[in-house]
Structure 1
Amino acid sequence: MSFTDQKNFADSPRRWALRGDLLDFTAAPAWGATESPVVRYDRDHWLLVEDGRIVGRQAAEPDASWVRKDHAGQLVLPGFIDTHVHCPQLEVIGSYGTELLDWLERYTFPSECAFADPVRSQAGAEVFLDALVGAGTTSAVVFATVHKTSAEALFDAAARRGMRLITGKVLMDRHAPDGLRDDVVQAERDCLDLIARYHGRERLAYAVTVRFAPTSTHAQLAMAGGLCRADASLYMQTHVAENRAEVAWVAQLFPEARSYLDVYERAGLLHERAVLAHGIWLDDKDRRLIDARGAQVAHSPSSNLFLGSGLFDWRGAPFNVSLASDVGGGTSLSLPRNMLDAYKIQALRGERLTAWTALHAATRGAAEALRLGDEIGGLSVGQMADLCVWDWAKGPVAEVRDAAARELHERVFAWMTLADERNLAACYVAGQRRV
C-alpha cells in the first residue's frame, strides 16, 4: 500500500490513547542478562498521545475525552531506528554470488546510476520509505546516491510522512563508473545547498555522506571534514572495515594512514555524530578511537552474513553499537530479522545475544548514539509518538511457541526469532497511523 493510499490512516485525532503491552528501556541492558532492571514492561497499560507526542503512560483507563485505540494483548514497542540503509538498493536485494567489491561493481553501481533521473529518485524514495514503515522502522540513517536529486527526493518524502530521517548526497569522485562520480567543487556546493534547505527542518537532518574511503580522493575527504568542522550539528555516515579485501585496498590507496579508520580520523570525519557502518575488521586502537570520539558502529548482521564479510565482535565493542539492515547487501528491511541474524553471528563467536541487547540497539541505544534520545527510541512522556504494535505470534508454530513461554525474556526472544512484517498490526509516525 502506497503512502498516497494510506492518507485515510493518517488522520489521527489530536488526543488519543493506545492500550497494549508496553515495552521499552530506561538504560542499556547488561550483556547476557535475561533479567534486567532496565527493561520497562507494563502489561495492559495505556499510552496517551497528544499532538504527536507521548503525554502519559498509565494503568488506569483514560476518561472519555481520549479517543481510544485498543490493542490489548499486543506488544507495543518504540518505532525502530535503522542506522544504516541504502535507499536505491531495493532492486538489487538478494543478488547472487559475490563479495562486497564485486557486488558493488556488478549490481549496486549500475542500479544507482538510474537515480540521476528526478522522477526515478522520487518513485524510489516513496517505495523505500513505505517499505521501512511497513517493517516497523520509523526513523533511519539513509544513503541516497551521488545525485543531489536523490537526497532531495528522500528529504521531501520523509517530510510528508513526518519521519525522522538523516541522509545526504553521496560523495564519490573516483573508482566509480560514469554517472556516479562528482567533483569536489560541485559536490561541496550541492552539500551546502542541501544543508541550507533541509538540515534542522521539521524532523530532517543532513549527513555528510562519504561512500567509503576508496571512492573519495584526499581532496574530497578534506572537503567533507571541513563541512563537519563548520557545523557540529551535522552527521557523518560512511562504511569502514567491512571486508578484508576492502581493508587491503584502502591500505594501498592511503599508505600514510595507520589504518582504514585513520583515513577518516585524519580528514576530521570522526566525531560524536559519525555513523560507521560495519566495523568488523578493526584493531584495538581503532576501537578505542571510535569510543573516544563518541562515534557509533551500525552493525548490519544480515548483510555481513549474506556477503560473507565477517563476524562482528559486539561484546568486545567499547563504543556505541546500533542495529542496521543495510539493504540491499542485507536481505530484509525488518529489524527483527536482523536481530535474529545478529544472534546467529554472536553464537558463531561463542556468545549469546539477548533480546534485550538486540532490541535496545534498535531503539533507545540507537537514539542515544544519534543524540536523539529525547525525541525517539522510547515510550516516555515527551518523546514523539513513533510507535509500533505487534502481534506476539502469527501462525500456528509461533502461537504454540508463544503459549509455552514461561517468562518475559523467553517470550520476547521467541517473538524476535519468529516475527516478521506479518506481525506488524499498526505503525504510528509522530502520532499518525501509517500502517
Structure 2
Amino acid sequence: MSSVIAPSAIRGRFLDIQSTVDQAAAIPEQVRFIEDGLLITQDGKIQWFGTWQAGQHLAADLQVEHYPDQLILPGLIDTHIHFPQTEMIGAYGEQLLEWLNTYTFPTEMQFEDKAYADQIAAFFVQELLKNGTTTALVFCTVHPQSVDALFEAAERHHMRLIAGKVLMDRHAPEALCDTPESAYTDSKALIQKWHGKGRNLYAITPRFAPTSTAAQLAQAGQLKAEHPDVYVHTHLSENQNEIAWVKSLFPEQKNYLDVYHHYGLTGSRSVFAHCVHLEEQEWQCLHDTDSAIAFCPSSNLFLGSGLFPLKKTWEKQVKVGLGTDVGAGTAFSQLDTLNQAYKVQQLQGDKLSAFEALYHATLGAAKALDLHEKLGNFNVGKEADFIVCNLKATAVQALRQDRAKNIEDALFALMMMGDDRNIQATYIYGQKAYAQADRNQY
C-alpha cells in the first residue's frame, strides 16, 4: 500500500464529544453537533474542522464528499474482541468455563496454520470496517503467526489495532499451551516487530489468570517492565465459578485483580475485560493504578455472567470502554452492543443516555486505551477515523427518525435499532476504507 495519504474534505452533519469528563452529568456540556459542517484531513490527520460556512473556501481545491442527510460520528472503538472466535460466534448453550473447552479451544487450534489465520484476519478486519469500528483491542491465539496475520490485514487500511499473542501454559489443550520462556521470547519478538510500527500497537495478553502459572505471569510482568508503553489485555471477574477457581489457584493473593497487580500487570495501558463481580478492593486498585475496564454487555448476557454496574465506574473514577467480545458477544456492531448496554443498565434501575453511550463507544473508549490524545472526536490534530451513518436504513427506522425530537433522540433511536446496515461508509486516516455499496463483496 502506498504511504502517501491524500487529503480529503467531508461535508455533512457531525456529532462528537469534545472533551473527556469525570462524570456522566458533564457529557451534555461537551456535545458538539454541527448541522452543516466541514472536516478536512491531511496526511491522515484532521487539519480543519468547523462549519461549512466558515470553512468552504479552504476546500476550494479539494473534491468535497457531501453527506447532507446522514450523521457523521467519530470511528467506534472496540476495547475487547477475539478475532479467532469470529467463526464460532453464537455457539449454543454454555457458561464461560464450559464454553471455552467446548468451542473456543478447538477453534483456536486452527490458527497454527498461517494461511488459515490470514483468511480469518482479512474477514475480521472487513467486519470491523463494515460495522463502523475503526480501532480495536484484540485477542489473537497462542500462535505468533496469528498476530502477524492480524496486523498485516490491518496495515492494508492504515488501521489502528492493538493486539497480542495469548499467553497460556496450563489448563488448556497441549496444542494451545506455550511455556513461560516461549511466551516471553515470542512476545518480545512480536513487540519488536509490530509495536509502534505504523499504527500497530502491542498488548501482552495472558488469557486469564487460571491459564497462566505464576512463572508465566512473572514473565509477563517482566515484559511489561521492559516495555512500559505496551498494553496488557486480559479477563477479570467475568463469572462466579471463574472467580472461585482463581482464588483456589492463587490463595496467597487478596483477590482476582491482586493476582495481576502482584505481577506488575496493572497500569494506565492495562485493560481488563468484563469486571462484572468486582470486590471493593478491586475497584480501588483499578482506580489507583489508572487501569481500565472493557464493558461487554452482549457476552455478559449471552454467557449468563451477570450485569455490569456501569454507574459504579463513574463513582469509583475507573476508565471504561465498550467491547463487543466476539465470539461470546453476538455481533460486531457497537450500535448493537450499546443496545445491550442500555438494557443491562435498565435491569439495574439505571439509565444510559444516548450521549453517554456515544462517549463510551468513542472518546471514553479512547481514554480507556490511553489514546484520547489521538482518537475519539473531531478535534484538530487527531487521527481522521470516522463513520457515516444512514439513520434510515430500514423502513421502521425511517418512520422513527422522521419523528425524532432532536439530535439526542435521533442518536438514541440509531443505537437501539442500528446495526451494520446503518454504516454507509467508514473512513480510516481520512480515506474511505469501506462503502456500503461494496458490502456484498465481503
> Aligned residue for 2:345?
346
AA in 2 matched with 1:47: L
In the superposition, the TM-score normalised over structure 2's length comes to 0.94
Cα deviation digits, residues 118-160 of structure 1 (max 9, x gap):
1111111111111111100011100000011101111121122
Amino acid at match of 2:334: L
- Structure 1 residue corresponding to 2:150, chosen from 151, 154, 173: 154
- Deviations 1:19-71 (CA, angstroms, capped at 9, x unpaired): 11111112346766598111111111111112211111122234420111011
Q: Which of 237, 250, 253 is 1:241 aligned to?
A: 237
Alignment of 1:19 onto 2:18: no
Show the counterpart of 1:321: 320
- Residue 121 of structure 1 aligns to a residue whose secondary structure is helix
Shift of 1:388: 0.3
Which secondary structure does the structure 1 equivalent of 2:402 belong to?
helix
* CA distance in structure 2 between the partners assigned to 1:272 and 1:31 by the alignment: 19
Q: Note if contact 2:5-2:44 (Cα within 8 Å) is conserved in structure 1.
A: no
% of aligned pairs identical?
A: 43
The residue that corresponds to 2:225 in the other structure is 229
8 Å Cα contact 2:21-2:27 kept in structure 1? no
Gaps of 5+ in 1: 1-6
Match of 2:167 among 148, 167, 171: 171
CA contact 2:27–2:356 (8 Å) conserved in 1: no
> How many residues matched?
427
Match of 1:257 in 2: 253
1:367 aligns to what? 366
Deviation per residue, 1:223-246 (Å, 9 max, x gap): 001111112101000000000010
In 1, are the aligned partners of 2:293 and 2:368 still within 8 Å (CA)?
A: no
Aligned residue identity for 2:84: P
Matched, 1:73 2:65: no
Structure 1 counterpart of 2:111 = 115
Local SS of the residue matching 1:426: strand
- In the other structure, the counterpart of 1:413 is 412
- SS in structure 2 at match of 1:37: helix
The CA distance in 2 between the partners of 1:334 and 1:86, in whole Å, is: 14
Cα gap change, 1:310 to 1:375, in 2 (>3 Å):
same
2:156 partner letter: R
Q: Give the aligned residue type for 1:64.
A: A
**C-alpha offsets along residues 256-307 of structure 1, whole Å, 9 cap, x if unaligned?**
1111111101111011100100001101110011011001000001000111
Alpha-carbon offset, residue 11 of structure 1: 11
Q: 1:419 offset after TM fit, Å? A: 1.1
Q: Which moved more, 1:101-110 or 1:35-44?
A: 35-44
What SS does structure 2 have at the residue aligned with 1:292?
A: helix
Residue 13 of structure 1: CA displacement? 7.3
Residue 130 of structure 1, aligned match among 97, 115, 126:
126
Query: SS in structure 2 opposite 1:404?
Result: coil
Q: Which residue of 2 aligns with 1:202?
A: 198
Opposite residue 419 of structure 1, the aligned amino acid is G
2:392 corresponds in structure 1 to 393
Quick one: which amino acid aligns to residue 200 of structure 1?
Answer: G
**What is the distance in 2 between the residues matched to 1:75 and 1:241?**
37
Cα distance in 2 for residues equivalent to 1:13 and 1:167: 24
Q: Deviations over 1:95-120 (max 9, x none)?
A: 11100001000001000000011111
1:145–1:169 contact (8 Å) kept in structure 2: yes
In structure 2, the partner of 1:272 is 268
After TM superposition, list the pairs within 5 Å mapping 1:82-93 onto structure 2: 82-93=78-89
Counterpart contact for 1:34–1:354, Cα < 8 Å: no
Q: 2:179 aligned with 1:183, yes or no? A: yes
Given the superposition, is the C-alpha separation of residues 34 and 347 from structure 1 closer, same or farther in structure 2, using an over 3 Å criterion? farther
Change (3 A) 1:97 1:430: same
Task: Please report the TM-score for the alignment, with normalisation by the length of structure 1.
Answer: 0.95
- Residue 432 of structure 1 aligns with which residue? 431
2:234 maps to a residue whose letter is: T
Cα distance in 1 for partners of 2:226, 2:60 equals: 51
CA contact (8 A) 2:298 2:330 kept: yes
SS at match of 1:48: strand
User: Is contact 1:31-1:315 (8 Å) kept?
Assistant: no
CA distance in 2, matches of 1:285, 1:203: 35
State the partner residue of 1:4. Answer: none
Over 3 Å counting, the alpha-carbon distance change for 1:216 and 1:155 in structure 2 is: same
Q: 1:27 to 1:386 in 2, by over 3 A?
A: same
Asked whether the equivalents of residues 4 and 43 of structure 2 are also in contact (C-alpha less than 8 Å), the reply is no
Within 2, Cα distance between the matches of 1:343 and 1:219? 40
Equivalents in 2 of 1:407, 1:34: separation in Å? 19
Q: In structure 2, do the counterparts of structure 1 residues 29 and 153 end up closer, same or farther at CA, with 3 Å as the change threshold? A: same
SS of match in other structure, 2:382: coil
CA distance in 1, matches of 2:182, 2:213: 14
Give the stretch that moved more between structures: 54-63 or 420-429: 54-63
In the alignment, is residue 292 of structure 1 matched against residue 288 of structure 2? yes
Indicate conservation of the 8 Å contact 1:125/1:154, yes or no.
yes
The reply to whether residue 331 of structure 1 matches residue 323 of structure 2 is no
Give the SS at the match of 2:176: coil
Counterpart amino acid of 1:87? F
- State the alpha-carbon separation in 2 of the partners of residues 398 and 303 from structure 1: 26
- How far off its partner does 1:178 sit? 2.1
Q: Secondary structure at the match of 2:311?
A: coil
Q: Does 1:94 align with 2:86?
A: no
The corresponding residue for 1:3 is none
| Whole-angstrom CA distance in 1 between matches of 2:126 and 2:407 | 31
Helix, strand or coil: the match of 1:195?
A: helix
Q: In the aligned structure 2, how far is the partner of 1:32 from the partner of 1:383? A: 23
The one-letter code matched in structure 2 to 1:128 is F
In the alignment, the residues of structure 2 paired with residue 13 and residue 86 of structure 1 have an alpha-carbon distance, to the nearest angstrom, of 29
Q: Distance in 2 between matches of 1:70 and 1:12?
A: 23
Say which of 98, 101, 109 aligns to 1:105: 101
